[in-house]
Amino acid sequence: MTLSITSIPSPVSQVTKKLKDAGFESYLVGGCVRDLFIGRTPKDWDITTNATPEQIIAIFPDSFYENTFGTVGVKTESEDPTLKVIEITPYRLESEYTDKRRPDAVEWSKTLDHDLKRRDFTVNAIAIDERDGKLDIIDLFHGQEDLENKVIRTVGDPHLRFSEDALRIMRAIRLSVELGFHVEHETEVAIKTHAKLLGHISKERIRDEFSKIILSPHPEDGISFMRNTGILPFVIPELEEGFGMEQNQAHSYDVWTHTLKTVQHSADKQFPFEIRLAALLHDIGKPRTRRFSRETNQYTFYGHEVVGAKMANEILERLKFPRKTIEIVTKLVRWHMFFSDPEAITLSAVRRMVVNVGKEHIWDLMNVRNCDRIGTGRPKENPYRLRKYKSMIDEALRDPITVGMLKIDGKDIMEALKDRPGPKIGLILNALMEEVLDNPAKNTREWLLERTHELAQEDEATLKKQAAIGKDKKDQAEEAELKKIRGKHKVQ
């Protein structure tokens, strides 16, 4: 593997140099080194040193304690968000893990070897230092070789390492899908053996790794691996109910496979997190609602979106997702079936749907729907009905051209003219509409009120004529807008 010193940003080099000038050792380590080797942009920069937290703080007066692991954050001048704070952690030695979660005590060490040995995976346990213009690479566990072969392997005995800290199981899966690596055989065997230790890990920490799996380029592989290794029961056991669950003729796949294809498509499209979660959970209610219909000789899943929305809510609450995420995902699951009956779509049904999921999420719903369609394994290319639906959403979302667009209403006119309700008010509104359609700048309260008084002086025939022209113009403008929307979606 090749790596050049120039790939290390100068704010980082400045920090390591300062530590070394003060007489300490200083290495880049962990995720940033791994990412540099494979040409990914590091998310953050971690430095490890034989200085103690107090000694580090003495060298960087502006720095602050980041956590109980002795990590010190050094602020830099950099505008780059990944470089604003550089973390320095003293060499660590870890002792007993009695609760399978956290070391009982964090102890500092004087040697880099100890620090590398306590790290989770070989690819995360490489340290580098620039010395005399050359790179010094400390790779005690052959991490470079595993990077080359795209392998995730624990540092040391995987059974021991997963027993020490079961979160590493989730990290192994997460890293493999983020990087497109595979989990080495012994490491995989140990994951299977120790899967149940995940029961000791907090839901929040499981959620964070799980979220990264969903946001990775390969959620399908991650979830599939979680099932094969017995991890799924500790994350979303409900997903497993779909395994081998046959569907009706519209589907090539069982519920499980369809679900994986659907969430994978959401990743291929780089959709945001909520859409990906909804893609994963959209059919979660199917297994519990499946019935066999003798009439059609097929399975039915009536109400699976209602049951599914409830289940999605439970699942996401259990994993302690934020309320907002839960709300969005649950809504998307609840309404994902909304156009199962394409022949019967009406504009008012579409309007109701926009109200149900909310204007801000209607296109998310369309995206979930699209993933669902691709996930059946028999998708049609953007079929007519889908385009028609999108066109109707655009129609439902637009503000129609009506006298309601005017900055004054019938009540204002009656007040201005000290008049009572009657046909004259409507005539004036339409007449005003005629002028505003010609020149939208006229749509202000002042102008309209002034003009109202003038129009009120006109004789009835003149007023009627202008009102009729106004109504005509309005209808034409409406039609032109609808035509434009339909043209955009290539539908009638």
Closer Cβ to Mg ion, 86 or 223, answer by number: 86
The 99-138 contact track toward Mg ion, x by CB under 5 A, reads ----------------------------------------
Q: Would you state the structure tokens that stand for residue 250, as one six-digit string?
A: 């519209």
Query: Where are any strands of DSSP class E within 66-198?
Result: 72-75, 85-90, 92-94, 106-108, 127-131, 134-138, 151-152, 182-183
The nearest distance, CB 158 to ligand ATP, in angstroms, is 12
Which of 1, 11, 22, 31: binder of Mg ion (CB under 5 A)? 31
Helices in 402-444 by DSSP H: which ranges?
410-417, 423-438
Question: Among candidates 279, 163, 266, which has minimal Cα distance to 217?
Answer: 266
The nearest distance, CB 164 to ligand ATP, in angstroms, is 8
Binding of residue 194 to ligand ATP (CB under 6 A): no
What's the distance, CA 154 to chain centroid? 29
Which of 86, 88, 128, 167: binder of ligand ATP (CB under 6 A)? 167
By a kind-dependent CB cut-off of 5 to 8 A, residue 75 interacts, out of ligand ATP, Mg ion, none, with: none
Task: Return d(Cα 146, Cα 124) in angstroms, integer.
Answer: 10
Binding of residue 44 to Mg ion (CB under 5 A): yes
Task: Return d(Cα 259, Cα 275) in angstroms, integer.
Answer: 13
The nearest distance, CB 488 to Mg ion, in angstroms, is 44
Closer Cβ to Mg ion, 30 or 242, answer by number: 30
User: Computed from CA positions of residues 198, 202, 208, 211, in that sequence, does the dihedral angle turn out positive or negative?
Assistant: positive
Closer Cβ to Mg ion, 44 or 113, answer by number: 44
Closer Cβ to ligand ATP, 31 or 410, answer by number: 31
The nearest distance, CB 161 to ligand ATP, in angstroms, is 8
The 40-69 contact track toward ligand ATP, x by CB under 6 A, reads ---xx-x-----------------------
Q: Which residues within the stretch 110-129 sit at the binding site for ligand ATP (CB under 6 A)? A: 119-120, 124-125
In one-letter notation, the amino acid at residue 221 is: D
Task: Return d(Cα 375, Cα 264) in angstroms, integer.
Answer: 8
Question: Among candidates 386, 379, 339, 393, which has minimal Cα distance to 490?
Answer: 386
Stretch that binds ligand ATP, among 39-47, 73-81, 450-458, 464-472 (CB under 6 A): 39-47
Q: Which residue is nearest to ligand ATP (CB)?
A: 31
Which of 9, 31, 156, 426: binder of ligand ATP (CB under 6 A)? 31
Give pairs for 346-354: CB < 8 Å, separation 24+. Answer: 347/392, 347/395, 347/396, 350/389, 350/392, 350/393, 350/395, 350/396, 351/396, 354/393, 354/396, 354/397
Asked if residues 473 and 434 have their Cβ atoms less than 8 Å apart, the reply is yes
Q: Which residues within the stretch 147-166 sit at the binding site for ligand ATP (CB under 6 A)? A: 165
By a kind-dependent CB cut-off of 5 to 8 A, residue 388 interacts, out of Mg ion, ligand ATP, none, with: none
Stretch that binds Mg ion, among 39-47, 97-105, 199-207, 355-363 (CB under 5 A): 39-47
The 352-391 contact track toward Mg ion, x by CB under 5 A, reads ----------------------------------------
Task: Return d(Cα 25, Cα 109) in angstroms, integer.
Answer: 12
Asked if residues 403 and 433 have their Cβ atoms less than 8 Å apart, the reply is yes
In one-letter notation, the amino acid at residue 323 is: R
User: Computed from CA positions of residues 199, 200, 201, 204, in that sequence, does the dihedral angle turn out positive or negative?
Assistant: positive
The 171-190 contact track toward ligand ATP, x by CB under 6 A, reads x-------------------
What's the distance, CA 330 to chain centroid? 14
Query: Where are any strands of DSSP class E within 193-333?
Result: 291-293, 298-300
The 421-440 contact track toward Mg ion, x by CB under 5 A, reads --------------------
By a kind-dependent CB cut-off of 5 to 8 A, residue 218 interacts, out of ligand ATP, Mg ion, none, with: none
Under the rule (CB under 6 A), what is the footprint of ligand ATP?
Answer: 30-31, 43-44, 46, 119-120, 124-125, 165, 167-168, 171
Under the rule (CB under 5 A), what is the footprint of Mg ion?
Answer: 31, 44
